[in-house]
Structure 1
Amino acid sequence: MPTAALPTWRDWLFSAKAFLASMLALWIALAAGLSRPYWAMAAVYVVANPLSGATTSKALYRALGTLLGAAGSILLLPPLADTPELFSLAVALWTGGFLFVSLLDRTPRSYVFMLAGYSLPLIALPTVSEPGTIFDVAVARTEEITLGIVCASLVFALVLPVRVGPVLGAQAAAWLRDAGAWAGAILRREGATGATRERQRLAADIRAMDMLISQIAYDAATPVATRQARELRGRMAVLLPILSSLADRLEAVRANGAEPAGLAAVTAGILAWMEAGPEAAPDEVDRLQQALAALEPRGAAARDWDGLVLSSALERLKELVDLWQDCRALQRRITLGHRADRWKPAFRHRRTVGARPHYDFGLLLFSAGSVVLATLAACFVWIATGWDQGAGCVIMTAVGCSFFAALDNPAPQIRSFVIWMGVSVVASAVYLFAILPAVHDFPMLVAVFAVPFLIVGTLVTRPQFTMIAMLLAVNTASFVGLQASYSADFATFANGNIASVAGGLFGLVWSLVTRPFGAAFAARRLVRAGWADIAATARGGANRDPDVFAGRVFDRLGQLVPRLAQTADPDVAAADGLAELRIGMNILDLQRIRPALPAGLHPSLDAVLDGVAAAFGRRVATGRAEPAPESLLRAVDAALAALTEARIGTGERAGLQALVGLRRALFPHAPGPLRLGPLAAALPIAAE
């Protein structure tokens, strides 16, 4: 094994804490005489996470999910035990219904609902022939799971805890380095409008950070970091369209030959200030803002298209400076905690962007419905064959299909699930029939478990091995089935575990047959949903809130970017979510100010909005990224001309700003209109 692949001391520390918590839970369960002490041991590895806050949050969610599943078992089994077909339908609908809710909640909290879904078959099906015992079994399952998660939470919180705050701060610092590289390319004029996938990956990284932000509230050492983390996330989201707009404007300024003499020096100063980090002079921000204000076009120079584009570029530069200052300060505060300096926000230009999910309800219903049918089909096979261990087959079908339902193509993961479950069966057999008969006390039990479980535990912290390691630890602990006194029957062991592996194989075959679509299908649906969002926004029927619209665009980007490498569709590959975000925001600006404009201007603005709706509606209908038609360019120019001839006022200025931004986003290579009239002289900025 290469040196780079060897476990680090942090991996060994995590593994040691997980093993300590599992042995503590097992010892307490054995001492208390609980009926299935191995459930307590297995529960530790289900919730264990290198971050103490993440362990606490997952422990809480697992407790709630187990309680819901236990309650459902007590509610449904007694009245339906004599009607196996109806009980099978109830189990399948319960599993799929809670899975659908979990797919809607894409935070760690979703684990509550997924676990509630498959806990019911896990608890109820083995006792279906003795429904009178379901209450005792449900209580025992809840007690043992709760014991395991309490032990895990205490050990990870008290023994050399790893806090969420510094990890989040380090991840934010890495994101800022990547965003800074893009900003540097823009400021150095290195053709930074390209590399669409790399830029959109920054949006996906923001979505990934939401997971850490949701866990920081459970970290006792960082009680005040949650608000700062959300402030940072909101500014990071705003920074991306600002950079996208800035790249476009600076490129246009250079192409038009309208760059003022001092702009290169100011952009170089901004880049040097960004690279200097905390070592930059405290008054450097004020000096940069004053230098940018001095470059604003005045008089006749502000009356043409080139002047408006320059003003827009300068405004984006001002926003970049303030945003970068805030992001750097917030990242430092999250990393250092109470040791950091006080923070005063500099960015006040506009609202920051919060998290707003985009749902593909069709695909989500299909995924959940597939699990319902798979569970129901496995139940009917069990009923038809009369297999005495068939409950294990149904359980593993429900668990395997639920675990990977959110994936575009779950079959490879379910295949891995089955393979490593088989490995766990073999390891359990070795323990149960070759090792445990020689174990006579708890210290010996700890000793025989220590080496394999400590080694497997070091793999949990590595994303590429997390699922494999967790399956090995949880399944081995469960399949061994430790009790207070040794008891093992090979026929029963083999029959039960064959049923479990058969359930995994059934779920694999079911996924191969019912879910052949893959990532390309989901990516195309995401792109078309973005086009439909813009068309609906232009029609005025949806997305009145810019924050909601922008948040949904970022969420779609976060879902799309991981799928881009798995599709060769040119229309999907060419999708630029940041450009579409700028289009949508400018449409919203036009709709917001339209009622305040003179009635004579409404027809020209309506022509623009109708043209955008038609252009993107055509994309939705054809599924092709067709360019905006020339008729829309003429409509935008006509609206620009109409607004420049109107009476000067706040509404006219804001409307012209939105039209400038819309024209640049839709027609970046079109030459600008010749002159815009007297209103332009009063405009301080142009829109995104």
Structure 2
Amino acid sequence: MSRGNTGLAFMRRTRWRYMLLGMLRDWVREDAQTLIYIGKVLLACMLAMWVSLRFELEQPRTALLTVAIVMQTRTSMVLAKSYYRLIGTLVGIATSVLLVALFAQERVPFLVYLSLWISFCTAGSIVFRHHQSYAFVLAGYTICIVGLPATLNPGHTFDIAMTRLSEIMVGLACASLVSALVFPQGVGELLRNAVRKRFRDFSRLLCSLNREKLDEPAGQAATLRMASDIFELEIFHASSSMESSHSRAYREQLNMLNSEFMAVSTSFHSFEQLMRRLHTSGHPQVVDSLMVLFAPIQSAVLTHRREAQDELEARQVALTIDALVQRWPTHLNEVRSSLPSTLTDNEKLDFATGAELSLRILSELHAYVHTYASMRKPEKMGISKPRRSPRLGMHFDPLAALLAGLRGGLVFAVMSFLWIACDLRSGIEAITIATIASTLFASSPAPGRTVRQFIIGAVIGTALLYICNFHLLTQAQGFVMLALALCPAIAIAAWFTTRPAIAVIGSGIFIVFFLHIGFNNVFAADPVNFINEAIADLLAIMLAGLFYSLIDLTNDLWSRTRVAQALRELIRDACIQTPPPARAKLEAHARELLLRMGSARRVADAKDKEVVDWLLSTLEISQAVIALRLELDRTDDAIIRSSIDQSLLQLARLFAQPSSTLRRSAITSIAASIEYLQSKAPLGIPNHGQLLTMLHFIHGALLDKDSVLTPIAPLEDSSIPGALRHA
């Protein structure tokens, strides 16, 4: 009994030990990281304040604000953001000095040119992404920090500019130093974990295709989330070059991986759509045969009956796919020979189209898996110079950028008018914070919600400011007491910034708190001025929010219509542009249009469903069109070239101006090309099968009753001859 009790007690102690260790790991992975980040923000702020006071800089709060703005959880992101903040600041200061020199005695022309400059910088923040966008934002509102105070005393413009630059550089240096020396965290492991998760998710999506799933509504959320990861990962790997030369090589591989993932995910979506259409139209034998054909691909991405967890297991998957590529022709012939003899010519063409898409998925998956597997210590695998990856480029709506610039300029102009007309005592601070709000959130996918959170942060920051200015700073004696007075507000704001859903609230607290903290190198507590500044801040932010509501580039019918039109233009370009656009560039363009609008994060919203459907339709059809045109370039038959060119022209007209008439014309023209190809002997045309299957795929997509074309270009069965419906 005693031995049994001893064993039971040992098991209980072991269970408790493992439970405590698990809790400790969870705490280190989550809560400890938050505490470390808050501690680093506090340390960097205190260091910046000490250096600023030590060198008697005019406004230590500018250095503190700089630390708060550039501080990130990852060291390389702090370095990258600091680098681009310095560039933006230098450009903004140089422009301020130039404008003050030109219009020192002319207030109105000076403010007009400042408004134009802010419009330009706001538009630039829309055109560029990530840290480059942030540099434009800095160049915009730095001109308020330097240029507006200089208008009151033009003779001291250079001194003001150099002082602000010195304070900002102190903040950048302190943030970078603390981030690099105190528990430094690189983005390398973060990138690897994100890449691994995306591979697992895609493998799971690939294996989930079965007969039962074809009865369910088409799933979009998983595909779009993985697609949006492509551009979200750019935020991290754009900063990776700040870490090491190995990180820069890893970035090149990641670009290649993104391109290959876009290709294989688009091909899989096309195959899934084809299977749904065949299932809906009643071709069970073809669907069963294609599922048998596709099954080895689904099995190949698994290792030990689960998705590959890392690059090492991906190497095993790569070997399995290598073997599958070698035996694919044999497997295809086996499945083709088992097709029922009762299949019609149209059903045989359906199978050939599915087989062609399966082969494309296998080829693209082969490249994707090999690139992913090679990302495990590439310098030890002989991959010192990875393949050149296609650049994603920049894709944006010029009109949206123009309207964003107009909005930023109008906010500045209206606040400047109120400053002059109402003689606001806190006019400069109000103009500055309005400009910050109108430029900083211009590229946000939901600027209206972002501004509302910023207002909440401003209110909390004002309350903390009141407590700090009139209850804590008045009792502070020496640097230690001063630091203790500031730490609670800094810690609260830093905690908010660690929560992605409410991070903007933390930014609002930081900006309002540090813009109006009651000390420079000399302490001053003025209740009347404090109330004026608080009212002016809230007025300025609400004005920016009002203009975001009036000129909303992300959430109204006009914006969704513009994006849908831009997506249709991509299909038109794929049809008629000479030479045809690169597939990777076109896919990146289509995905980024949606991501800039924010719809990729609102997949479930009914109002965004049409735009999401247009994206998927664009990827599906443009891929087939580009493949068709590449095959057409290898064809010498003039009649075939002329027939397919005419079909592509009709397709381009349809997507340029969708209508029922043009949809019927495109279907008729493509059916005629299919009929002519079927009448030709395949032996006379080397790529006869590829041309036929791509035409058949496009034809089926146009006939699909669930197509996104149907609401704006309805197609009645009675309007299409039966021969064309089953071509």
TM-score class, shorter: 0.7 to 0.9
Is residue 331 of structure 2 the alignment partner of residue 295 of structure 1? yes
How far 1:115 sits from its partner (Å)? Answer: 0.9
Separation (CA, whole Å) in 2 of partners of 1:306 and 1:250: 9
How far 1:28 sits from its partner (Å)? Answer: 0.8
Task: Identify which of 623, 629, 640 aligns with 2:663.
Answer: 629
Is residue 242 of structure 2 the alignment partner of residue 218 of structure 1? yes
Residue 71 of structure 2: aligned partner? 48
How far 1:37 sits from its partner (Å)? Answer: 1.3
Instruction: Say whether the 8 Å CA contact 2:119–2:409 is kept in structure 1.
Output: yes
Residue 526 of structure 2: aligned partner? 489
Separation (CA, whole Å) in 2 of partners of 1:261 and 1:171: 30
Is residue 258 of structure 2 the alignment partner of residue 233 of structure 1? yes
Is residue 489 of structure 2 the alignment partner of residue 459 of structure 1? no
The range that moved more, 158-167 or 541-550, is 541-550
Tell me: CA distance 1:472–1:542, structure 2 relative to 1, closer, same or farther (3 Å): farther
Residue 181 of structure 2: aligned partner? 158
Separation (CA, whole Å) in 2 of partners of 1:23 and 1:634: 73
Is residue 281 of structure 2 the alignment partner of residue 243 of structure 1? no
Separation (CA, whole Å) in 1 of partners of 2:550 and 2:58: 39
How far 1:501 sits from its partner (Å)? Answer: 2.8
Instruction: Say whether the 8 Å CA contact 2:220–2:603 is kept in structure 1.
Output: no
State the TM-score, normalizing by the size of structure 2.
0.82
Is residue 642 of structure 2 the alignment partner of residue 608 of structure 1? no
* Matched AA of 2:151: V
Separation (CA, whole Å) in 2 of partners of 1:265 and 1:345: 35
| Alignment map for 1:638-657 (pairs within 5 Å) | 638-644=672-678, 645=680, 648-650=684-686, 652=688, 654-657=690-693
Tell me: CA distance 1:564–1:361, structure 2 relative to 1, closer, same or farther (3 Å): farther
Residue 81 of structure 2: aligned partner? 58
Separation (CA, whole Å) in 1 of partners of 2:336 and 2:189: 52
Instruction: Say whether the 8 Å CA contact 1:418–1:501 is kept in structure 2.
Output: yes
When the two chains are superposed, the root-mean-square deviation of aligned CA atoms in Å is: 3.6
Separation (CA, whole Å) in 1 of partners of 2:553 and 2:353: 48
How far 1:375 sits from its partner (Å)? Answer: 1.1
Instruction: Say whether the 8 Å CA contact 2:590–2:619 is kept in structure 1.
Output: yes
* Matched AA of 1:52: T
Residue 45 of structure 2: aligned partner? 22
Residue 468 of structure 1: aligned partner? 505
Instruction: Say whether the 8 Å CA contact 1:36–1:481 is kept in structure 2.
Output: no
SS in 2 for 1:634: helix
How far 1:530 sits from its partner (Å)? Answer: 0.8
Instruction: Say whether the 8 Å CA contact 2:66–2:172 is kept in structure 1.
Output: yes
Query: Deviation string for 1:527-565 (max 9, x for gaps)?
Result: 221112212432336853333222212223434322444
Tell me: CA distance 1:255–1:132, structure 2 relative to 1, closer, same or farther (3 Å): farther
How far 1:87 sits from its partner (Å)? Answer: 1.1
How far 1:190 sits from its partner (Å)? Answer: 2.9
Residue 88 of structure 1: aligned partner? 111
Query: Deviation string for 1:499-550 (max 9, x for gaps)?
Result: 3333223323343445498344423321221112212432336853333222
Task: Identify which of 426, 435, 446 aligns with 1:389.
Answer: 426
* Matched AA of 2:271: L
Separation (CA, whole Å) in 1 of partners of 2:335 and 2:221: 41
Tell me: CA distance 1:431–1:184, structure 2 relative to 1, closer, same or farther (3 Å): same
* Matched AA of 1:527: A
The range that moved more, 460-469 or 629-638, is 629-638
Instruction: Say whether the 8 Å CA contact 2:518–2:525 is kept in structure 1.
Output: no
Query: Deviation string for 1:344-397 (max 9, x for gaps)?
Result: 999x9xx97641433111122112102212211221222222334322222222
Residue 685 of structure 1: aligned partner? none
Residue 74 of structure 1: aligned partner? 97
* Matched AA of 1:232: L
Separation (CA, whole Å) in 1 of partners of 2:688 and 2:702: 21
Residue 284 of structure 1: aligned partner? 320
Instruction: Say whether the 8 Å CA contact 1:187–1:268 is kept in structure 2.
Output: no
Task: Identify which of 211, 218, 233 aligns with 1:194.
Answer: 218
| Alignment map for 1:278-677 (pairs within 5 Å) | 278-279=312-313, 280=316, 283-297=319-333, 304-306=348-350, 308-319=352-363, 321-326=365-370, 328-330=372-374, 333=376, 337=377, 354-407=391-444, 410-515=447-552, 518-540=555-577, 544-559=581-596, 560-568=599-607, 571-572=610-611, 574-575=613-614, 577-594=615-632, 596-619=635-658, 629-644=663-678, 645=680, 648-650=684-686, 652=688, 654-667=690-703
Tell me: CA distance 1:176–1:672, structure 2 relative to 1, closer, same or farther (3 Å): farther
* Matched AA of 2:57: L
Instruction: Say whether the 8 Å CA contact 1:393–1:503 is kept in structure 2.
Output: yes
Tell me: CA distance 1:381–1:255, structure 2 relative to 1, closer, same or farther (3 Å): farther
Separation (CA, whole Å) in 2 of partners of 1:237 and 1:261: 23
Tell me: CA distance 1:209–1:261, structure 2 relative to 1, closer, same or farther (3 Å): closer
Instruction: Say whether the 8 Å CA contact 1:424–1:472 is kept in structure 2.
Output: yes
SS in 2 for 1:459: helix
Tell me: CA distance 1:165–1:409, structure 2 relative to 1, closer, same or farther (3 Å): closer
Instruction: Say whether the 8 Å CA contact 2:260–2:367 is kept in structure 1.
Output: yes
How far 1:95 sits from its partner (Å)? Answer: 0.7
Is residue 167 of structure 2 the alignment partner of residue 144 of structure 1? yes
How far 1:166 sits from its partner (Å)? Answer: 0.8
Separation (CA, whole Å) in 1 of partners of 2:143 and 2:294: 66
Task: Identify which of 204, 216, 225 aligns with 1:181.
Answer: 204
Unmatched tracts of structure 1, length 5 or more:
677-688
